[in-house]
Chain A
Amino acid sequence: MEHLLEVKNLKIQFDTEEGTVYALENVSFHLNKGEILGIIGETGSGKSVTASAINRILPVPPARIVNGEIIFQGKDVLQYKREEMNKIRGKKISMIFQEPMTALNPVFKIKEQMSDVIMHHQKVNRKNAVKQATQMLEQVRIPDPEMVLDKFPHELSGGMRQRVMIATALSCEADLLIADEPTTALDVTTQDQILALIQEMRKNIDISVILITHDFGVVAEICDKVAVMYGGTVVEFTDIYTLTKKPYHPYSNGLLKAIPPVDKTIEKLNTIPGSVPNLLKPPTGCRFHPRCENALEKCKIDPPPLKEIEENHFIACYNPIKVGENNG
């Protein structure tokens, strides 16, 4: 079965006045139709750069795609010319962001903005576009769509705006939705509703989703697969159940253990010493080695490649955690 999306050895750098930023070193993962993939990482992990790269919205320059392929529905997106990409962007690949206020134009009503998008991708007139927009807003469980359509973005709450964004993103029947930290700016109760909504959408219209977040709880809540990123590399890639039970990569392991649990009281948190790497001068070899308990000499020289060590469980590590050492 062909993957819907396959990212292979993506390597991207940025030329800035402070020097070259080695943003993505080696990113590889895949997504099958109908799956929800979570990309989890901290600052500097490269998760947002990856998302923007898939949709080709990275500013080139200063970005430079050094290497790699992004194969979407069988074709390498990086090879597309501008017009071809424009046909896909928004239509086949849709994207929503953390802060909807920056994506929505404050001086136009929702009605106009949504119907503009619909009319851009489909050959319909304004009236039909508004009708579609109303239907989409119902699908995202907005109780009074007409009222919402008649409002300006700043008149809506954060959760509402995000629903509008989801509705807009889905209105063109995209095959892939990229959601970049969609719930980070929302209250936890609203977040819960939006995550449930995304799951429902996946079930109803069979859309595939890439969900980018720094919050592991979000990944555990709705994702099927997860790619853990650190310092511009995918360090572990497998399904969510396997990852929580058997995080082989020392970083994934450390990350999971560092999250304060809400269901029990503990005395001390496990930590990963040090901090995320400076992408202007990243560490040699494996970028995690300065903070890694399992670091070997080899790790300082050669970055480990992503290898499948068990079925559908990929890690980039020369000295992974042995099964017995994990928390079960």
Chain B
Amino acid sequence: MKTQDLRKEFQVRVGFLQKERKITAVDNVNLDIQQSETVGLVGESGCGKTTLGRILAGLLPATSGKFFYRGNEITEIKKKKNKQIRREIQMVFQDPFSSLNPRMTVSDILSRPLKVFKIGKNAKERTKIVLETLESVGMKTEHMSRYPHEFSGGQRQRIAVARSLIVNPAFIILDEPTSALDVSVQSQILNLMVDIKTNFQLTMLLITHDLSVARFQCDRIAVMYMGRIVVISDKEALFNSPAHPYTKILLKSIPRTDPEQRRKKAISTGEVPSLLNPPSGCYFAPRCPLKMDICETKAPELKRVNEHQTCACFAVEKEK
């Protein structure tokens, strides 16, 4: 999948008088995802990663820009002739509680997509596929006739993963799939995703705020900040030699599980500015230790730093 200057704006109402203001949730994003790789989309709140994910899933129209799937431009996945594409691009959502219809059994939830995409010649065949898919995500036959509220968060996510798998997709977008889960369950689901990626030969886009999850799952990682992509990097390069100052700070801020590695004081200053009032120039400039004059006037573009990383930062450019 490839995006070209993808942009998404929202109109929001602010303040007591409900004035309408515009925010740019996704700002001229250019990202490509190769077949069979897992790309991580990482960032803090308001960075636009969920919005971008939904646009790529065809759930949200972009304001401007294009994106391509297998070389063809996608304008409207919903249209009838795009049914094949609709089947190939699937998504797993963050909240295991609201992403499953409370009034449908597991069997209904999983067999509906088969019916809609006309997979399986009759009910018997469809049931067989449902059972196989349930098994591949670690669930059992007797779960078929139960309702979502009877399951734990981890089990519901497994059902959600099964739903995305059952139509035999090529590309799955995962939006914070483990953020709402306990740590012990998270590890199960993360392992599961590694397995299904191999077994089903999938391409994946993993959206997460947790860099340790990204490190475990992804081949390449794109870091977003306030709607812009600031870094695209191979995994090892990102963690071992981060170029962009925001990435450096982000990595250092993550609390380690070893108390010997405690920090004496806070790494970062300030917070992510509101999208209603973005700074001029580089969005990270107000908090950046390497800020230069140009950073406050112009927005840096993604430029290649070395064979593993591209980065949008004037300071990094200058050093090169």
The reply to whether the CB of B116 lies closer than 8 angstroms to some CB of chain A is no
Q: Do B184 and A221 touch (CB < 8 A)?
A: no
Q: A189-B271, A258-B187, A262-B211 are in contact. Are A220 and B266 (CB under 8 A)?
A: no
Which stretch from A3-11, A121-129, A265-273 is at the chain B interface?
A265-273
B182: chain A residues within 8 A (beta carbon)? 42-43, 214, 275-276
B183: chain A residues within 8 A (beta carbon)? 42, 214, 216, 255, 258-259
B269: chain A residues within 8 A (beta carbon)? 193
B119: chain A residues within 8 A (beta carbon)? none
Chain B interface mostly = helix
Q: Which of B153, B262, B272 contacts A220 (CB 8 A)?
A: B262
**Distance from B88 Cβ to chain A, minimum over Cβ atoms (Å):** 28
A195: chain B residues within 8 A (beta carbon)? 255, 266
Q: Which of A215, A254, A270 contacts B255 (CB 8 A)?
A: A215
**Distance from B177 Cβ to chain A, minimum over Cβ atoms (Å):** 13
Q: A255-B183, A259-B212 are in contact. Are A189 and B255 (CB under 8 A)?
A: no
Q: Do B271 and A265 touch (CB < 8 A)?
A: no
Q: Do B256 and A217 touch (CB < 8 A)?
A: yes
Closest residue of chain B to A218, judged by CB? B255
Q: Which of A43, A187, A254, A266 contacts B44 (CB 8 A)?
A: A187
A214: chain B residues within 8 A (beta carbon)? 182-183
Closest residue of chain B to A189, judged by CB? B268
Interface residue ranges of A44-87 to B (CB < 8 Å): none
A271: chain B residues within 8 A (beta carbon)? 184, 187-188, 191
The reply to whether the CB of A148 lies closer than 8 angstroms to some CB of chain B is no
Please, how many angstroms separate the alpha-carbon atoms of A263 and B239 in the complex?
Answer: 7
Assign chain B's interface to a size class: 35 or more
Q: Do A192 and B253 touch (CB < 8 A)?
A: yes
Q: Do A275 and B194 touch (CB < 8 A)?
A: no
Please, how many angstroms separate the alpha-carbon atoms of A192 and B45 in the complex?
Answer: 15
Q: Do B250 and A189 touch (CB < 8 A)?
A: yes
**Distance from B149 Cβ to chain A, minimum over Cβ atoms (Å):** 12
Assign chain A's interface to a size class: 35 or more
Closest residue of chain A to B236, judged by CB? A265
Q: Do B262 and A188 touch (CB < 8 A)?
A: no
Q: Do A221 and B262 touch (CB < 8 A)?
A: yes
Interface residue ranges of B174-229 to A (CB < 8 Å): 182-188, 190-191, 194, 209, 211-213, 215-216
A-B contact count (CB 8 A): 140
Closest residue of chain B to A230, judged by CB? B184
Please, how many angstroms separate the alpha-carbon atoms of A121 and B312 in the complex?
Answer: 52
The reply to whether the CB of A241 lies closer than 8 angstroms to some CB of chain B is yes
Q: Which of B155, B239, B257 contacts A244 (CB 8 A)?
A: B257
Q: Do A187 and B184 touch (CB < 8 A)?
A: no
Q: A260-B190, A265-B216 are in contact. Are A216 and B253 (CB under 8 A)?
A: no
Interface bits A174-214 vs B (CB < 8 Å: 1, else 0): 00000000000001111111011100000000000000001
Q: Do A275 and B271 touch (CB < 8 A)?
A: no
Q: Which of A187, A217, A222 contacts B209 (CB 8 A)?
A: A187
**Distance from B310 Cβ to chain A, minimum over Cβ atoms (Å):** 21
Please, how many angstroms separate the alpha-carbon atoms of A241 and B194 in the complex?
Answer: 32
The reply to whether the CB of B84 lies closer than 8 angstroms to some CB of chain A is no
Q: Do B185 and A157 touch (CB < 8 A)?
A: no
A269: chain B residues within 8 A (beta carbon)? 187, 190-191, 216
Interface pairs (11), CB distance under 8 Å: A42-B184, A157-B272, A157-B274, A159-B271, A160-B271, A214-B183, A260-B187, A261-B257, A262-B254, A272-B187, A273-B188
**Additional A-B contact list (9), CB under 8 Å, known A42-B185, A187-B272, A190-B268:** A187-B271, A188-B211, A189-B253, A192-B255, A220-B256, A220-B259, A256-B257, A262-B256, A265-B239
